Amino acid sequence: MKRNRQEESRRILGQVKREEFVGRTAELERIIAHASEADDSRGLLILLAPLAGVSELLRQTYDALFNKQGAAVPVYFALPAAETTPVSAAIEFLNTFLLQYVAFRRNEPDLCHASLTLNEIVDVAPSTDFEWIEKLVKNYNEHRFGSDDRDFVRFCLSAPHRVPAGNPKPFLMFEAVHLAAYGFAQVPFDRELLRALASYQFPFALAGLRRQIVYAVECAGGTIERFDNLHLEQLKDDDARALVSSAARRNGVPINQETTDLLVQQFAGSPFFITAMLQAAGEKHVSLDTYLSCERLYVDELLGGRLHRYFSAVLERIAPQPEIRRAIVRLLCEAIPPGSRTIVFETWRKRLGVSSENVEDILQQLHTEELVNWDGETVDTEGGPTPWRDYLRSRFRLDALREPRALVVAEVIASALKRAPITITTHLRRLGQLRLREVFESFNSQLVPSMLFDYEHFSEMYRGAPPEEVAAGLASDTTALRLPQVFQAASGASFSTELRQFGEENSVIAHGFEGATYSDENEVVWLAARVESKLEADVELTERWVDLLENLARKSGFMRTQLWLISNEGFSLDANSLLKEHGAFGSSQQQFELLAGRLREEASSGAGTPDEVELVLPMGSDYELIAANTVEQIARRLNFRPEAINQIKTAIVEASINAAEHSLSPDRKIYQRFRVESDKLVITVASRGIVPSNLNGYNRPSTDTDTATDQRRGWGLKLIRTLMDEVEFERVDEGTRLRMTKFLRNGS
């Protein structure tokens, strides 16, 4: 049947028009594509960050699939927040399922909004579906008055199974954001739900809070790897701005660029907060064109509007008894000694005055909502978005301290207004600066000019030099520093309250390994910080930072450390001397950006490039000669001198022999890669297998017990190091990978 344009764009469950739905286009397409997958497709878990918003995404998916009238019959069911018994939720599910199935089959969107009993749904079912729906409803009526609730819940959740084989298959979108509300029932609804979903022979999507879903899947004896996963985070800045503009337009709220940015940053891109604020502004006919109007409305909403209702509902669900709620608010709000935002479980138990089991339930729910981080022992109260913390503080002052409401309102507005420019400044600074942590996350054993970490040397060479001269100089610089392979980079603020005062972005603690092996000796922690100084950082400021980071390293028990300070304009002479005394690195912003640029370039050229030749050779039988002949041809194209070509050939022969001799290689193959760059030839020789502990990329000192032949057989690496300009073992999980570089010099 040919559909007209009007049918294609019908708004059925969506609360906004498709064109006004912004920021989740890729996710929408992904879910639609999932619906169209084959019958044996795996389920899709939509793992949601709290308040990242999923309802409208699923409703929009529903509309798109309904209007498409394709092979998948969309069914959207949101587990009610208010229906707190599994039985009532199961009945609601069955009703929704049948109603939406019939609506789709009749191509009558209005049916989705009708309030029909199951018997009435049978009456409106199309003749092609009448028989199985009537039978299902009849069975329902038989089960309904049984005494086994679990059996009844199972019956309802298995309704999609009753769709006859020849009929269009349902695509079930189950929104379980409120799954935690069903945790105390006698029937474990989460397990029953997962059990039912796992048995479906058609695609489905289950959306819920990520911690809740992962927990529920594990409780049901599964792992999330068995499903396809879609992670929903808060919106990125651009998408969040688009949402603010779109919601402002829809609600008729005057807004400007400055306040748009404020809302985006203050609410960290949360669709829920943004939408709630703009709906409130629309209803109250408030303009959001100044910081003051934004913060005034924010505090209104926090103390009595949507935000208040949301957080209150969360708290009431977690702790239905008012006195326990008050105790939770007090616990979360009370002044905690600086440096410790954690409270042990026992303190919670004593302060809440309830059983350990109840405390566990409360903490589990707070953890699920990501309002605290609970590891089973201690509770970190730093979690939760800014509005949550504002809500707690205001509630504590109003309910526990009994402060006058007018005073609390005034002070919360004042506090929000004072915070607004700081929020925006931090955001703008972040935009203008490369993030320290991101740069650390790209540390992966690359070789970089050591001068990038030595401001004194760098400024001697390049102070005031044009960028092209700096770039050329660094390109030909052969004094290299091997970066560690960083496996975790976290903000220094999460390690130290002293660092917290300088902002989340301004310090990083990065754990990594140096060299080619994961060993205690190679483990290293880099402690890096941005030093705020408009001029070259002086010795006093530098010393304070060095002391701060060294103390942190000591307190944290870091064995091997590397300090690195970055100051916009570099460091004074005295400060440089101090850094050297402490073995610390110092860089200017220019050096930092050059380093970041270099790492980006390496990352983008990581995959095979057009000027790259790969060769896989069997080990043994003089196959190294093929490598030597290949590299000879390549080196000739680069116009290396004959002597240099011979050196490269010998080096590759030696590297091939080493690879064959030293690895217990399962595939007995040597993987060689020749990368041609404008000024150099980079060769990597790799093999799989176990590397003897005495190799690991380094020459082992000879011992008295070595025979003359043993010693001579260690010549390969010595030769390679002499013949090539740079020789490094790269980090690999298995076997070895040797990288050798020969620079093309004038006359080479």
Partner 1 sequence: MGDSIKSHVRAHTVGATAVVYAADYLNKLTGERIERECRKQLDSGCRALVIDFSDTELVNSIGISILLGIIDIAEKCGAVVVFSDVNSETVQLFEMLGLTRHVSLAHDAQEAISHLSAQPAMGH
**Helical ranges in 383-462 per DSSP H:** 386-395, 405-432, 436-441, 455-462
Q: How many residues bind partner 1 (CB under 8 A)?
A: 21
Residue selected from 58, 64, 343, 628 as contacting partner 1 according to rule CB under 8 A: 628
Alpha carbon 639 to its chain's center: 47
Of residues 697 and 714, the one with the C-beta less far from partner 1: 714
Contacts with 374 (C-beta within 8 Å, 6 or more apart), sequence order: 363, 364, 366, 367, 380
Is 58 a binding residue for partner 1 by CB under 8 A? The answer is no
C-alpha distance from residue 202 to each of 44, 198, 221 (Å): 11, 10, 21
Contacts with 354 (C-beta within 8 Å, 6 or more apart), sequence order: 324, 362
Of residues 26 and 708, the one with the C-beta less far from partner 1: 708
Choices 277-285, 370-378, 624-632, 689-697; region in contact with partner 1 by CB under 8 A:
624-632
Choices 21-29, 127-135, 439-447, 644-652; region in contact with partner 1 by CB under 8 A:
644-652
**DSSP-based three-state secondary structure for 424:** helix
Phi (first) and psi of residue 209, to 5 degrees: -60, 135
Q: Compute, in degrees rounded to 10, the torsion defined by CA atoms 633, 636, 641, 642.
A: 30
Q: Of 313, 326, 329, 348, nearest to 390 (Cα)? A: 329
The least distance separating partner 1 from the CB of residue 724, rounded to whole angstroms, comes to: 13
Is 654 a binding residue for partner 1 by CB under 8 A? The answer is yes
Residue selected from 242, 625, 676, 732 as contacting partner 1 according to rule CB under 8 A: 625
Contacts with 68 (C-beta within 8 Å, 6 or more apart), sequence order: none
Residue selected from 716, 728, 737, 742 as contacting partner 1 according to rule CB under 8 A: 716
Of residues 126 and 620, the one with the C-beta less far from partner 1: 620
The least distance separating partner 1 from the CB of residue 223, rounded to whole angstroms, comes to: 50
Of residues 523 and 706, the one with the C-beta less far from partner 1: 706
Window 666-705: contact mask with partner 1 (x via CB under 8 A): ----------------------------------------
CA–CA gap between residue 27 and residue 57 (Å, rounded)? 8
Write the DSSP assignment of 241-283 as a string of letters. HHHHHHHHHHHT--B-HHHHHHHHHHTTT-HHHHHHHHHHHHH
Please give the structure tokens belonging to residue 356.
């350990």
Of residues 98 and 631, the one with the C-beta less far from partner 1: 631
Euclidean distance between the first and the last CA atom of the chain, given in angstroms as a whole number = 74
Choices 204-212, 258-266, 587-595, 621-629; region in contact with partner 1 by CB under 8 A:
621-629
Of residues 418 and 713, the one with the C-beta less far from partner 1: 713
Choices 220-228, 256-264, 648-656, 689-697; region in contact with partner 1 by CB under 8 A:
648-656
Residue selected from 40, 357, 622, 704 as contacting partner 1 according to rule CB under 8 A: 622
Choices 198-206, 275-283, 675-683, 710-718; region in contact with partner 1 by CB under 8 A:
710-718
Positive or negative: CA dihedral 205, 211, 212, 217: positive
The least distance separating partner 1 from the CB of residue 722, rounded to whole angstroms, comes to: 6
Residues 206-225 that bind partner 1 (CB under 8 A): none
Please give the structure tokens belonging to residue 346.
């026992």
**Helical ranges in 447-538 per DSSP H:** 455-462, 467-475, 497-500
Q: Of 450, 446, 453, 442, nearest to 489 (Cα)? A: 442
Of residues 488 and 722, the one with the C-beta less far from partner 1: 722
Residue reference for tokens 């690496």? 717
Choices 100-108, 268-276, 538-546, 647-655; region in contact with partner 1 by CB under 8 A:
647-655
Of residues 526 and 729, the one with the C-beta less far from partner 1: 729
Residue selected from 3, 637, 700, 712 as contacting partner 1 according to rule CB under 8 A: 712
The least distance separating partner 1 from the CB of residue 708, rounded to whole angstroms, comes to: 8
Rg (Cα) of the chain, in Å, rounded? 32
Of residues 540 and 643, the one with the C-beta less far from partner 1: 643
Choices 51-59, 95-103, 588-596, 642-650; region in contact with partner 1 by CB under 8 A:
642-650
The least distance separating partner 1 from the CB of residue 648, rounded to whole angstroms, comes to: 11
C-alpha distance from residue 300 to each of 251, 277, 420, 600 (Å): 18, 10, 16, 46
Residue selected from 181, 193, 653, 727 as contacting partner 1 according to rule CB under 8 A: 653
Q: Helices (H), strands (E): how many in the chain?
A: 30, 20
Choices 213-221, 528-536, 563-571, 641-649; region in contact with partner 1 by CB under 8 A:
641-649
Write the DSSP assignment of 589-640 as a string of letters. HHHHHHHHHHHHHHHHTSS--TTEEEEEEESSTTTHHHHHHHHHHHHHHTT-
The least distance separating partner 1 from the CB of residue 636, rounded to whole angstroms, comes to: 15
The letter for the amino acid at 488 is Q
Asked if residues 507 and 491 have their Cβ atoms less than 8 Å apart, the reply is yes
Of residues 353 and 620, the one with the C-beta less far from partner 1: 620
Residue selected from 704, 709, 733, 746 as contacting partner 1 according to rule CB under 8 A: 709
Residue selected from 601, 643, 667, 679 as contacting partner 1 according to rule CB under 8 A: 643
Of residues 356 and 633, the one with the C-beta less far from partner 1: 633
Window 569-608: contact mask with partner 1 (x via CB under 8 A): ----------------------------------------
Of residues 637 and 641, the one with the C-beta less far from partner 1: 641
Phi (first) and psi of residue 366, to 5 degrees: -60, -40
The least distance separating partner 1 from the CB of residue 707, rounded to whole angstroms, comes to: 11
What angle separates helix 210-219 from helix 189-199, to the nearest 10 degrees? 80
- Exposed/middle/buried for 127, CB within 10 Å: 0-12, 13-18, 19+? exposed
Of residues 418 and 712, the one with the C-beta less far from partner 1: 712
The H or E element that residue 55 is part of is: helix 55-68
Window 718-737: contact mask with partner 1 (x via CB under 8 A): xx--x---------------
Residue selected from 246, 647, 741, 748 as contacting partner 1 according to rule CB under 8 A: 647
3-state secondary structure 528-573: EEEECCCCCECHHHHHHHHHHHHHHHHHHCCCCEEEEEEECCCECH
Choices 29-37, 184-192, 670-678, 706-714; region in contact with partner 1 by CB under 8 A:
706-714
Is 249 a binding residue for partner 1 by CB under 8 A? The answer is no
Residue selected from 16, 596, 657, 682 as contacting partner 1 according to rule CB under 8 A: 657
Give the 3-state secondary structure percentages of the chain, helix then strand then coil, rounded to 5.
55, 15, 30
Choices 51-59, 110-118, 345-353, 649-657; region in contact with partner 1 by CB under 8 A:
649-657
Asked if residues 79 and 179 have their Cβ atoms less than 8 Å apart, the reply is yes
Phi (first) and psi of residue 670, to 5 degrees: -115, 125
The least distance separating partner 1 from the CB of residue 654, rounded to whole angstroms, comes to: 6
- Exposed/middle/buried for 46, CB within 10 Å: 0-12, 13-18, 19+? buried
List of residues contacting partner 1 (CB under 8 A): 622, 624-625, 628, 643, 646-647, 649-650, 653-654, 657, 708-709, 712-713, 715-716, 718-719, 722
